[in-house]
Amino acid sequence: MEKVLILDFGGQYNQLIARRVRECNVYCEVHPYTMTVEAIKAYSPIGIIFTGGPGSVYEDDSPQVDSAVFGLGVPVLGICYGCQLLAHNLGGRVTPAQNDSAREYGKTETWYDTSCSIFKGLPEKGISWMSHGDYMAKIPVGFQLTAHSAACPNVAISDDTRRFYGVQFHPEVNHTAYGTQMIRNFLYEVCGAHGDWTMEDYKNTAIRRIRERVGSGKVLLALSGGVDSSVCAALLAEAIGSQLTCVFVDHGLMRLNEGDEVEQAFSKWSINFIRVNAESRFLLKLAGEAEPECKRKIIGEEFIRVFEEEAKKIGAVDYLAQGTIYPDVIESGAGTAAVIKSHHNVGGLPEYVDFKEIIEPLNILFKDEVRQLGRALGLPEYLVSRQPFPGPGLAIRIIGDITKEKADTLRQADFIFRDEIAKAGQDRCLSQYFAVLTNTRSVGVMGDGRTYDYTLALRAVTTDDFMTADWARVPYDVLDHISRRIVNEVHDINRIVYDITSKPPATVEWE
């Protein structure tokens, strides 16, 4: 199988590069920049990509690559820091950008030399996503300039003879208009890839690795019934069959009727399935807690404690499996990334977990890739294309402290929202939509009387990968109908607002 090696220099978009390569049907792996040249040779990649990173190549302690890598005869694409690394190692000069104009951040109009293999078949002008404070003051001998912007003459470089290419911008980010095409060009035009990798291969490799790791051991899967854990269940069931037990914890913060629906759906599968009703225990632990990160950590810990208890009942369970996906990892603050929120299954895990190992076979995949994997595993479309529902459930959609009464109020309102969205045929256009019970009360008038009740927020977004999202333009008349129904039917709510913030700067969930 053709393999591409991605050498990781600590940038925030590194898994996104891997994802773009996979999208082009080429297998790839991300390895730390410290990988030795012998190990690289043994890996025998058809091409190497150097990622971006926060360092400056001219600083003493900056991440470097063994320069023997340039003698392997393997094509290299350097992205941002990776581009500067190429220049720095091959006789060019990288300096801090002298003035603000050579430093570039965000969407930047860029001119490409379309005779360069990387830009082949592209328009001569497009938007690229820049994020660099350093500048290639001198490009190395043997290289040509192949792109520029208004502020910066040295945006991309190429040496067709040695097959080395560098771009200062980030082709892997959606905001770079033809970015995937550029990566495809590197893979197919420069590295000579044939595109022999598919999600079916990912499935087979994952199954093989799970079998190797688990042997004849027993695995307990934390199943929420959402897309990720359901796909994970199908994958593990195929890999290890009856060695797997799926445990679904109903923490009392599921949507209306959801606990019963999950149980019904999974009892039809030929897997070991256990439902644990744990509403009172979760509500007790959460009582009086209003701080979002604390709520997440309480839930993360309580889940683990329930799984540990169930594992003891089953006996000799060494492995806990979770349907963690890549955005959960990165938002919980992996490596040098900032903590945005502690996803219950990553940053929300307690320090001590009484399992030998945690298995997360989806943790390099993005949401839409998980859906593709689900299809490759033969899961029905309704299950695979469902909107996500977070593990902490309504706990992170009730702002302020949580009570059973508030959860019941939110459940009813959320049900009406989803029901009306489906009736209006809007569900197919939306990636995720739900209601949030704010802890703001306001004055209203109903009948002839004064009310002083909760404000409910409606949230609907469109997105591919949930790393960024746009607020959805749901038609006003649909919103109007939903608003009337909720206020009429749900006790305690007298005002509805619609969230018109994208991600970033907001996140999808309110907490």
Interface residues with ligand XMP (CB under 6 A)?
Answer: 296, 331, 341, 343-344, 388, 390-392, 432, 466, 503, 507-509
SS3 label, residue 239: helix
Best CA proximity match to 436, nearest among 458, 462, 461, 405: 458
CB of 399 to ligand XMP, least distance (A): 13
CB of 224 to ligand XMP, least distance (A): 7
Nearer to ligand XMP, 152 or 384 (CB): 384
Q: Is 170 a catalytic residue?
A: yes
Nearer to ligand XMP, 166 or 393 (CB): 393
User: Within 10 A of 81 (CB to CB), how many other CB atoms are there?
Assistant: 28
Which of the following is catalytic: 2, 132, 152, 172?
A: 172
Strand segments, DSSP code E, in 283-399 are 317-321, 357-359
CA angle 115, 121, 127 (to 5 degrees): 95
Nearer to ligand XMP, 55 or 347 (CB): 347
Residues 353, 358: Cα–Cα separation, whole Å: 9
Nearer to ligand XMP, 10 or 388 (CB): 388
Nearer to ligand XMP, 266 or 466 (CB): 466
Nearer to ligand XMP, 22 or 341 (CB): 341
CB of 152 to ligand XMP, least distance (A): 32
Residues 399, 42: Cα–Cα separation, whole Å: 53
Nearer to ligand XMP, 88 or 344 (CB): 344
Place of tokens 């018109």: 500
CB of 339 to ligand XMP, least distance (A): 11
CB of 432 to ligand XMP, least distance (A): 5
Which of the following is catalytic: 80, 116, 232, 246?
A: 80
Place of tokens 């689900």: 374
Residue 167 identity (one-letter amino acid): V
CB of 349 to ligand XMP, least distance (A): 11
| Kind plus residue range of the DSSP H or E element containing 248 | strand 244-250
Which of the following is catalytic: 170, 251, 343, 344?
A: 170
CB of 423 to ligand XMP, least distance (A): 23
Nearer to ligand XMP, 66 or 509 (CB): 509
Q: Where are the alpha helices (DSSP H) in 45-98?
A: 81-89
CB of 468 to ligand XMP, least distance (A): 9
Residue 473 class from Cβ within 10 Å (0-12 exposed, 13-18 middle, 19+ buried)?
Answer: exposed
Strand segments, DSSP code E, in 251-398 are 272-277, 317-321, 357-359
- Neighbour order of strands in the sheet with 317-321: 272-277, 244-250, 218-223, 317-321, 357-359
CB of 253 to ligand XMP, least distance (A): 12
Residues 236, 321: Cα–Cα separation, whole Å: 9
CA angle 478, 479, 480 (to 5 degrees): 90
Q: Is 302 a catalytic residue?
A: no
**Dihedral through CA 57, CA 59, CA 63, CA 65, nearest 10?**
60
Residues 183, 47: Cα–Cα separation, whole Å: 11
Residues 252, 404: Cα–Cα separation, whole Å: 8
Residues 30, 363: Cα–Cα separation, whole Å: 13
Nearer to ligand XMP, 408 or 509 (CB): 509
Backbone angles phi, psi at 185, to 5 degrees: -60, -45
Residue 481 identity (one-letter amino acid): H
Query: Measured between alpha carbons, how far apart are the two ends of the chain, in Å?
Result: 43
- HSE, CB side, 13 Å, CA atoms: give it for residue 187: 27
Best CA proximity match to 77, nearest among 184, 1, 151, 176: 184
Q: Is 344 a catalytic residue?
A: no
Catalytic residues: 80, 170, 172
